[in-house]
Amino acid sequence: MTNRIDRTFAALRERRQKAMIAFITAGHPTLTSTVRLAVALEREGVDLLEIGVPFSDPLADGPVIQASSLTALKNGVTVRRVLDMVGQARRSGVRLPILLMSYANPILRYGIRRFAADAARAGVDGVILPDVPPDEGGEIDRVLARRGLHTVYLLAPTSSGERERLVLRRSKGFVYYVSLTGVTGADAKDSSRVIESHVRRARRGSELPVCVGFGVSTPEAARRFCAYSDGVIVGSAIVRELSRTGLSDASAFARRVVRPFVRAVRSVKAGGD
């Protein structure tokens, strides 16, 4: 049986559509919000969901997501609770692919084999580990793959040609292209042709979809990145609004904040890029 990530990208390709991937932090703004939000995001048209596992030292994250992780940790979120949330989301009818974005430390403390088994049982489809380079992730890859989980690696504008080839070879499901050399939540420069050339080159070098994250702060930015990628990851824009307004009504929040991104992504048809 193929992974949900693979099936989703295959369906998008057949419909000539780009992927809208949403990021939220597990347990932010409250312990009960994650499942409600996952249901609402799928109904609003999000294609894949990335759930952040809160960590006390998230070096790759900007201030917005760092603050959300701190809130989640204060709410008592642990790896076990994150997996329970995924299981609850599946029981609530969520069918879209779910990836966990985590630093290595929480998973290694949990136990990688135990984590892989529990994650697969809960309904996780993939894992993103921003602090694990592809040349050091072999054992983690193998353990996760035995449970049917994909490991998604990051590619950046600063990646060498050798690192790019390694990422394209080792990543499963899709390649996460980091549009900034800094942290999440900043605006990518409109004039950056370097990003476009790198993304196009990565797509030529692999059959995997290449999706752009970090700096996708507006629907217009999402539309611009989709012109030459296979999709976008929207994180800080969603988390910032959650921090500002809370989540009294998940459906209303998804319509107001996420629907404009979904529409922007849907406005770009695959095939001409």
Tens of pLDDT, residues 131-179? 999 998 889 999 999 999 999 999 988 888 899 999 999 999 999 999 8
Average pLDDT of the chain to the nearest whole number: 92
Query: Is 133 domain-assigned?
Result: yes
Measured distance CA(52)–CA(68) in Å, rounded = 10
103: domain CATH number is 3.20.20.70
Residue with tokens 């959300």: 68
Query: Is 22 domain-assigned?
Result: yes
First to last CA, the chain: 30
- Active-site option among 50, 118, 141, 164: 50
Query: Is 51 domain-assigned?
Result: yes
Query: Is 269 domain-assigned?
Result: no
Average pLDDT for residues 189-202, to the nearest whole number? 80
Average pLDDT for residues 98-126, to the nearest whole number? 97
Domain that includes residue 72, residue range: 4-264
Place 181 in a pLDDT band, splitting at 50, 70 and 90.
low
Query: Is 34 domain-assigned?
Result: yes
Angle at 268 between CA 263 and CA 270, to 5 degrees: 135
Active site residue 50: yes
Average pLDDT for residues 200-205, to the nearest whole number? 95
Measured distance CA(100)–CA(15) in Å, rounded = 26
Tens of pLDDT, residues 23-55? 999 999 998 999 999 999 999 999 999 999 998
Closest to 82 (Cα-Cα) out of 98, 93, 58, 60: 98
Give the predicted TM-score (pTM) of the model. 0.93
- Active-site option among 61, 118, 164, 230: 61
In the chain, the number of structural domains is 1
Query: Is 271 domain-assigned?
Result: no
**pLDDT value of position 190:** 40
Query: Is 272 domain-assigned?
Result: no
Q: Which amino acid is at 130?
A: P
Query: Is 273 domain-assigned?
Result: no
Tens of pLDDT, residues 127-141? 999 999 999 888 999
Active site residue 241: no
